[in-house]
Amino acid sequence: MPTAERYQSVFRPTLFQGQVAIVTGAGSGLGRCTAHELAALGARVALLGRKLEKLERTRGEIAQAGGEARSYACDIREEDAVKQTVSNVIAGFGRVDALVNNAGGQFAAPLESISAKGWETVVRTNLTGGFLMARECYTQWMKTARSGAIVNIVADMWLGMPGMGHSGAARAGMLNFTETAAYEWAPVRVNAVAPGWIASSGLDHYPPEMAAHIKTLHRQVPLGRLGTESEVSAAILFLLSPAAAFISGSCLRVDGAVPNVRHHRNLLGQGQTQAFDGFHLARPPRVLD
Predicted pLDDT of residue 98: 98
Q: Spell out the long-range contacts of 78-83 with Cβ–Cβ below 8 A and sequence spacing 24 or more.
A: 79/132, 82/129, 82/132, 82/133, 82/136, 83/136, 83/140
Answer yes or no: is 209 within a domain: yes
Predicted pLDDT of residue 288: 76
Predicted pLDDT of residue 214: 82
Three-state secondary structure string covering 106-133? CCCECHHHCCHHHHHHHHHHHHHHHHHH
Predicted pLDDT of residue 23: 98
Predicted pLDDT of residue 124: 95
Answer yes or no: is 281 within a domain: no
Instruction: Name 56's Cβ contacts closer than 8 Å, sequence gap at least 6.
Output: 71
Positions in the chain short of pLDDT 50? 1-3
Predicted pLDDT of residue 3: 43
Q: What is the pTM of this model?
A: 0.89
Predicted pLDDT of residue 2: 43
- Kindly report the CATH number assigned to the domain that includes residue 69: 3.40.50.720
Answer yes or no: is 277 within a domain: no
Predicted pLDDT of residue 289: 72
**Domain encompassing residue 76:** 20-256
Answer yes or no: is 134 within a domain: yes
174-227 tens-digit pLDDT: 999 999 999 999 999 999 999 999 998 777 767 777 788 888 888 889 999 999
Predicted pLDDT of residue 267: 59
Find out whether 119 and 42 touch, Cβ atoms under 8 Å. Answer: no
Number of domains in the chain: 1
Answer yes or no: is 278 within a domain: no
Cis ω for the linkage preceding 285 (within 30 of 0): no
Answer yes or no: is 206 within a domain: yes
The Cα–Cα gap between 149 and 142 comes to 9
Answer yes or no: is 82 within a domain: yes
Answer yes or no: is 144 within a domain: yes
The Cα–Cα gap between 162 and 17 comes to 42
